[in-house]
Amino acid sequence: MKTNTIFSALLIILFSSVSCNSNINKLKKEAESGDAEAQYNLAVEYLIGEETKADDDLAFKWMEKSAQQGHIVAQHDLGYLYFDGQGTVADTIKALFWMEKSAQQGNASSQFNVALMYKKGEGGIPQNLEEAFNWYTKSAEQEHAKAQYNLSYMYLGGEGTVEDKEKAFDWMKKCAELGTKEAQFIIGIDYENGTGTEINKEAAFNWYEKAAKQGHEDAQYTLGLLYNKGEIVEENKEKAFYWFKESAKQEHDEAQSQVSYMYRIGEGVNTDKEQEFYWAKKSAENGNIGAQYNLGLMYDLGQGTKQDDSQAFYWFKKSAEHGFFRAQYNLANMYYSGRGTEIDDIKAFYWCIESAKQEHAMAQHLLSMMYYFGRGTSEDKAKAFEWCEKSAQQNFAEAQFDLGTMYYRGEGVEVNKEKADYWTSKSYENGYKPAKSILEMDRYNMEIDNTVFDDMTKQQVA
């Protein structure tokens, strides 16, 4: 029985082989007799290699013969063969020639490709935006979705035509209605912002949702934001989390950062430190500077992972190098204290000033102390006062205390006991305990040893 089964299988294979050979032979005869359709089909057989051995040279030969007889699809495909150098030497000019032949016969895909080639102007083809616009229009009118999409952008930017936001919107909407998720997302943006159409928040949400359900990661992220903030649609943290996570799965760094945050605070999902760390790391690895900072904090504090100074330093540095002021301050502190790296006052000073220039109150205060003690820079009491004042004005209690001290002692500024008392009181009001001790001394009516202030100040910097 088993032998019979094997024999039957062999017969089927043999019969199939004979049948395939018969079909190819018939096709060859028709092609050789000058049948353009047969020539095209034979070229395709040689390209895909299903019923005969694949052969790019023979594929090109028969595709060219068919194209020369005016076969619209053969002309299109011959253009591709020239473009890719398949079965022939790559030749962009000849690729355009045959694509244009097909386009002139009304092939929408060829019209799109011709437009694209004129738009890019590469491979010896001079850029011609007017030609690109005309061919995109012809293709778009035949409901070629990509042509509609690109035509919309040409209207939007006034490329090859007069800028027209309304027409840009109309063509993008046609593309969206054909199911193109990228267009659906853009139409959502247009309705939300009123670009080329009247503002319609409900329509914006509907198009975002269509795109999101098709897996568009930016649309999914946008839906998450809308549900999270209760904008356009009723606030729903669970749905916000769902859409953020759908987007995060597609490596959307902002969505990954949001998922991490929601795991941290328990919005839309139960708190989970390990998941918070997991998604923060994913986002950080995808280049999100906020997530890089947060990941640095998690390593620094040992939250959701093992405490690791070197990893904290690594991620703070990544974020700092992209300009995030909080990370710059933390990096300065690590260089200053030698945590996760060697002590380097010069680098500490550099990162501290980078953060301070971005109005980070704690960095401004640390910078003041570095100028005060001459660490990483020359001692400069005037600059120490200047940065201390900036920090104090942002209500940073330690800076307010030090500013009061500098006014009292006349360091970097003229003595002003009234202002000294004012800033020390502000510091106390903001919860800085050493300020209370100074106020209780009634320092303006008694001699005070300056070492009191020196010791307190040094403790803040150490």
Give the global pTM. 0.84
In a domain, 191, yes or no: no
- 456: amino acid identity, one letter: M
pLDDT of 19 above 70: no
Question: Is 349:311 a contact under the CB 8 Å cutoff?
Answer: no
Predicted confidence at residue 20, as pLDDT, reads: 54
Q: Computed over its alpha carbons, how large is the radius of gyration of the chain? A: 35
pLDDT of 190 above 80: yes
The CA distance from 77 to 145, in Å, is: 20
In a domain, 119, yes or no: no
Question: Is 227:245 a contact under the CB 8 Å cutoff?
Answer: no
Could you give the percent of the chain with pLDDT greater than 90?
A: 87
Predicted confidence at residue 448, as pLDDT, reads: 41
Question: Is 249:216 a contact under the CB 8 Å cutoff?
Answer: no
The structure tokens 């102007």 sit at 121
In a domain, 142, yes or no: no
- Taking CA atoms, 238 is separated from 216, 218, 226, 254, 265, in Å, by 19, 18, 12, 18, 13
- Taking CA atoms, 105 is separated from 80, 113, 123, 426, in Å, by 17, 14, 24, 81
In a domain, 255, yes or no: no
**What is the average per-residue pLDDT within 144-168?**
98
Q: Which residues fall within 8 angstroms of residue 436, CB to CB, at 6 or more apart?
A: 428
Among the listed ranges 9-23, 49-63, 350-364, which one has the minimum average pLDDT value?
A: 9-23
The CA distance from 90 to 71, in Å, is: 21
pLDDT of 354 above 50: yes
Among the listed ranges 136-150, 356-370, 421-435, which one has the minimum average pLDDT value?
A: 421-435
In a domain, 341, yes or no: no
Predicted confidence at residue 437, as pLDDT, reads: 81
Predicted confidence at residue 11, as pLDDT, reads: 41
Question: Is 217:250 a contact under the CB 8 Å cutoff?
Answer: yes
The CA distance from 312 to 296, in Å, is: 4
User: In the structure, what pLDDT confidence band is assigned to residue 10 with cuts at 50, 70 and 90?
Assistant: very low
Predicted confidence at residue 340, as pLDDT, reads: 97
Predicted confidence at residue 439, as pLDDT, reads: 79
b/e code 163-178 from CB counts within 10 Å (16+ = b): eebebbbbbbbbbbee
Could you give the angle at the alpha carbon of 200 between the alpha carbons of 197 and 203, nearest 5°? 105
pLDDT of 434 above 50: yes
**263-267 contacts: CB < 8 A, separation 24 or more?**
267/228, 267/237, 267/240, 267/241
> How confident is the prediction for the chain on average, in pLDDT?
92
Among the listed ranges 17-26, 282-291, 402-411, which one has the minimum average pLDDT value?
A: 17-26
- Taking CA atoms, 106 is separated from 7, 38, 74, 382, 462, in Å, by 52, 21, 13, 77, 77
**What is the average per-residue pLDDT within 303-313?**
98
In a domain, 263, yes or no: no
pLDDT of 210 above 60: yes
Closest CA to 259 of 131, 13, 48, 243: 243
pLDDT of 18 above 70: no
pLDDT tens digits for range 225-279: 999 999 999 999 999 999 999 999 999 999 999 999 999 999 999 999 999 999 9
In a domain, 440, yes or no: yes
Could you give the percent of the chain with pLDDT greater than 70?
A: 91
pLDDT of 32 above 90: yes
The CA distance from 296 to 284, in Å, is: 10
In a domain, 457, yes or no: yes
Domain assignment of residue 393, given as a range? 388-462
- 442: amino acid identity, one letter: D
Overall number of domains in the chain: 1
pLDDT of 9 above 90: no
pLDDT of 14 above 60: no
